[in-house]
Chains A and B, each alone.
Chain A
Amino acid sequence: QVQLQESGPGLVKPSQTLSLTCTVSGGSISSGSYYWSWIRQPAGKGLEWIGRIYTSGSTNYNPSLKSRVTISVDTSKNQFSLKLSSVTAADTAVYYCARDRFGELAYWGQGTLVTVSS
């Protein structure tokens, strides 16, 4: 059974870079035809897809965030990562990682709350 776990700082200062890592267990991140996605959810609001990466390194990003987002993968550690630069309070949210098969997000991490505040 595939499991995903987000990790990273829970508090980031405005204008700094948010960095999160998703560790995949129960299977190799390189096996199968899967993308690996990041999604976020502000408190009390809906879901926003941030972007995804294939293990080849190919990425797709939400155009509204594209200028600030970088998603990378480290197959040796079975991890993929999210960097979001120049954060503001509007980036405060629960951030989820998920396994993406043809856009179907069947496996999710538990989520991690990131607060942007000085």
Chain B
Amino acid sequence: DIQMTQSPSSLSASVGDRVTITCRASQSISSYLNWYQQKPGKAPKLLIYAASSLQSGVPSRFSGSGSGTDFTLTISSLQPEDFATYYCQQSYSTLLFTFGPGTKVDIK
């Protein structure tokens, strides 16, 4: 199985801050990495697919980068509606998609 880790597990930030979340895969997954945002009581929302492609309708302050085993999600200027939990997910192994444990972004 491909294991996904994320760091940090949580962070506190202020509106306007630049935020970076890291995701690491236990083996190379090329660019088969997706990022989701989840707010309490809601379904996850796809933000970034294929490591760096912005999903339609997602604000351009979100960006993704990386390939192989190391990936990052960056929010260039944190907005009030961005306080949520963020998950990475590998789609390299079609036999078992796995998610990272999540990174909770809350208000400083």
Q: Smallest Cβ distance from B62 to chain A, in angstroms? A: 15
Which 7 pairs show the lowest CB-CB distances between chains A and B? A103-B91, A108-B43, A49-B97, A104-B49, A47-B99, A106-B46, A46-B101
Residue A104 contacts which of B1, B50, B87, B100 (CB distance < 8 angstroms)?
B50
Are A104 and B91 in contact, CB atoms less than 8 angstroms apart?
Answer: yes
Given A60-B94, A103-B91, A103-B94, verify A46-B99 contact (CB < 8 Å): yes
User: Which chain A residues numbered 59 to 75 have a C-beta less than 8 Å away from chain B?
Assistant: 60, 62-63
- Chain B residues with a Cβ closer than 8 Å to the other chain, count: 26
Residues of chain B with a CB closer than 8 A to A108's CB: 43-45
- Chain A residues with a Cβ closer than 8 Å to the other chain, count: 19
Chain B residues with CB under 8 Å of chain A are 1, 32, 34, 36, 42-46, 49-50, 55, 87, 89-92, 94-102
Chain B residue nearest to A49 (CB atoms) is B97
Cα-based distance from A11 to B89 in the complex (angstroms):
29
Are B89 and A105 in contact, CB atoms less than 8 angstroms apart?
Answer: yes
Q: Smallest Cβ distance from A25 to chain B, in angstroms? A: 16
Are A104 and B46 in contact, CB atoms less than 8 angstroms apart?
Answer: yes
Residue B87 contacts which of A46, A98, A102 (CB distance < 8 angstroms)?
A46
Cα-based distance from A41 to B50 in the complex (angstroms):
23
Residues of chain A with a CB closer than 8 A to B32's CB: 103
